[in-house]
Copies of this chain bind each other. A is one copy, B any other.
């Protein structure tokens, strides 16, 4: 049960294709035929040429003839997944099939210094952040730049890093869970280091 139907490829072609994808992901440019030759353990360029030709005929790759390192992987969508519609819960939905919109995640991922944290526990369950989720955080420079109600990751000495709602009242900082089973934490400004504020949530099933 292959996830991607690459069954029309021979073993050698599949191996080369995988190597190329890996190389291009790492180096952001196309490898040369002689590099592929070496990577595949071959001693002449002819077999690579043959495999590339087949890969091109089957629509996996393309390149500009005669030009060095101009391969492209045509198969995979580099960035963006089509948004096919909106889906409702129980009620009516409009399914706009031909909308030309793509889910854009890159703006968050390419933001400077963004980091991710893996969520443990269920203290934010009422904010729809579950155990095992990845939260993408933007570093906080000044605590004054954080609005009340923002979800932040905060380092509380003795407690460790925790994900909570942030509130500031009368120079006191309150960290509140999104779960009534947890008591709010009240702290002085010096007692807490705000690490980042929540940008996005990512959950793999």
Residues of A at the B interface (CB closer than 8 Å) are 3-5, 24-25, 27-30, 32, 67-73, 76-95, 103, 105-106, 108-112, 114-125, 128-130, 133-136, 151, 153, 155, 159-164, 177, 179, 182, 198-205
- Looking at the assembled complex, report how far the CB atom of A157 sits from the nearest CB atom of chain B, in whole angstroms: 12
Q: Is the CB of B87 within 8 A of A161?
A: yes
A153 to B88, CA, bound (A): 9
Q: Are A162 and B88 CB-contacts (below 8 A) given A71-B29, A77-B109, A111-B4?
A: yes
A133 cross-chain contacts in B, Cβ below 8 A: 128
23 contacts between A and B (CB under 8 A): A28-B30, A28-B78, A29-B29, A68-B68, A81-B115, A81-B136, A83-B116, A83-B117, A84-B117, A85-B118, A86-B119, A87-B120, A88-B119, A89-B119, A89-B123, A90-B123, A90-B162, A103-B136, A128-B128, A128-B133, A128-B203, A200-B202, A200-B204
Q: Is the CB of A116 within 8 A of B82?
A: yes
Q: Which of B29, B32, B72, B85 contacts A161 (CB 8 A)?
A: B85
A63 to B69, CA, bound (A): 13
A177 cross-chain contacts in B, Cβ below 8 A: 89-90
A179 cross-chain contacts in B, Cβ below 8 A: 89
Q: Are A151 and B81 CB-contacts (below 8 A) given A89-B121, A121-B90?
A: no
Q: Is the CB of A110 within 8 A of B77?
A: yes
A72 cross-chain contacts in B, Cβ below 8 A: 27-29
Q: Is the CB of B70 within 8 A of A27?
A: yes
A69 cross-chain contacts in B, Cβ below 8 A: 29-30, 68-70
Going nearest first, the 6 A-B pairs with the smallest beta carbon separation are A89-B123, A89-B121, A93-B160, A86-B118, A69-B69, A68-B68
Q: Are A203 and B201 CB-contacts (below 8 A) given A110-B77, A162-B90?
A: yes
